[in-house]
Amino acid sequence: MSSDPILRLEGIVKRFGNFTALHAIDLDISEGEFLTIVGPSGSGKSTLIRLLVGMDDLTEGEIRLRGKRIDQTPANKRPTCMVFQSLALFPHMTVGQNIEFPLRIRGVAPEQRKIRALELLDLLHLPRSYHEKGVTQCSGGERQRVALARALAFDPEILFFDEPLSALDYRLRKALEKELKDLHNRTGKTFVYITHSLEEAMVMSDRIAIMKEGRFVQIAVADEIYSRPVNRFVAEFMGEVNLFDVEGVDGGVFRAPEMEIHVNGGGGDFGLSLAPGETGTLVVRPEFMRFLPSGETADFILSGILHAEYALGSRIQYEVEISGGEMVTVEKLREDRFTGALGDTVVLGFDLEAVHLIREAGHEKH
């Protein structure tokens, strides 16, 4: 993947009347990158992608493709293509006619259109005989592949995707996530993908951009966002998480009322210091929490009542009620199932290397 940005967004603002949907968005997208933009409903991700493909006009800012400004170029004149959630296939046409449609619009000769369509059927793992098949006779997964083939037909520089898998059943969606990632690797194209599904983003992306209220909150590789979220919103958005409020005290350490701290004997600066009176949040993923047998210790210890147990396929998730009625989530592999009974008092522990500290200020970067 090239380090040079193929697409650059500078100061993108979009207003609808008095409502500002996007606030001064800046973003560089590298050539050959798979970037996924994720956020809750109303975060601005769909508005952003409509601007990128030319379906809406900017209020302020610039969009540059390979250094050339394109935000005033009509959508049909841009070297980009969009795959919609609805797929927007033509039901009265064959698979081949659907794939060849953008080439026909551009005046490509029929024999060249068919050659390209057959190449794309091969690329998308569809039989060449599908060229003459009615698109309404195809399954949901096959129609998805036809839509991808059509998007690739005129060799766009960037492919944009607006939640294209959201209407599919779980098993097919999981299969197509892997196929899309594989297709990205084989074509070397730049993919910009919009979804509300964190799971899709984690499986496919080179980088993930988290949106909230018309701004980027964090942009990084999946592992970094998962293990080092910049604020509570990102931490919670990226899946199950345990969050503990902490406050700095004298000596460069902090205290949390519901837990005992045993790092370096409970004293000294251990790399997660807060100034006296400064507040923050400890982030601990459920897979790093463990049940402590009698006599075993950990850097951080808390106790509570085993409240619930949930089977999640290969994993088991437990909820433990600690002081103040808060719930802590613990996750274990099925073969390591905890043997305690609901209602038992249990002791939980986790260690320093499993902890990420979020400070209250300085993390709302855009």
Query: How would you class 334 by CB atoms within 10 Å of its CB: exposed for 0-12, middle for 13-18, buried for 19 or more?
Result: exposed
Euclidean distance between CA atoms 238 and 199, whole angstroms = 9
| Distance (Å, whole) CA 359 – CA 280 | 4
Looking at this protein, which amino acid is placed at residue 74? P
Quick one: residue 130, left, alpha or beta (phi over 0 = left, psi -120 to 50 = alpha)? alpha
Angle between the N-to-C axes of helices 140-152 and 170-187, in degrees from 0 to 180, rounded to the nearest 10: 20
Q: Provide the CA 301 distance to its chain's centre, in angstroms.
A: 32
- Residue-level pLDDT, tens digit, the chain, 366 residues: 456 799 999 999 999 999 999 999 999 999 999 999 999 989 999 999 999 999 999 999 999 999 999 999 998 889 998 888 777 889 999 999 999 999 998 899 999 999 999 999 999 889 999 999 999 999 888 998 898 899 999 889 999 998 888 777 888 888 888 888 998 998 999 999 999 888 889 989 999 999 999 999 999 999 999 999 999 999 998 888 999 988 888 766 677 877 888 775 544 445 677 888 888 899 999 999 999 998 889 989 999 999 999 999 899 999 999 987 899 999 999 999 998 899 999 999 999 889 999 986 543 433
Pairing of strands 158-162, 242-249: unpaired
Which whole-number Å values give the CA distances from 73 to 5, 48, 54, 69, in the listed order? 19, 16, 7, 8
Helices (DSSP H) in 30-135: which residue ranges? 45-53, 95-105, 110-123
140-152 helix and 95-105 helix, angle to the nearest 10 degrees = 20
pLDDT value at residue 363: 38
Q: Which domains does the chain have, with CATH numbers?
A: 5-232 (3.40.50.300), 240-359 (2.40.50.140)
State the Cα–Cα distance between residues 298 and 349, nearest whole angstrom.
5
Q: How far apart are CA 256 and CA 280, in angstroms?
A: 10
Q: What is the pTM of this model?
A: 0.84
Ramachandran region, residue 155 (left: φ > 0; alpha: ψ -120 to 50; beta: rest): left
Sign of CA dihedral 104, 106, 108, 113: negative
Q: If phi over 0 gives left and psi between -120 and 50 gives alpha, with beta otherwise, what is residue 42?
A: left
Q: Which helix (H) or strand (E) holds 9?
A: strand 5-16
Query: Radius of gyration over alpha carbons of the chain, in Å?
Result: 25
- The span from the CA of 259 to the CA of 284, in Å, is 13
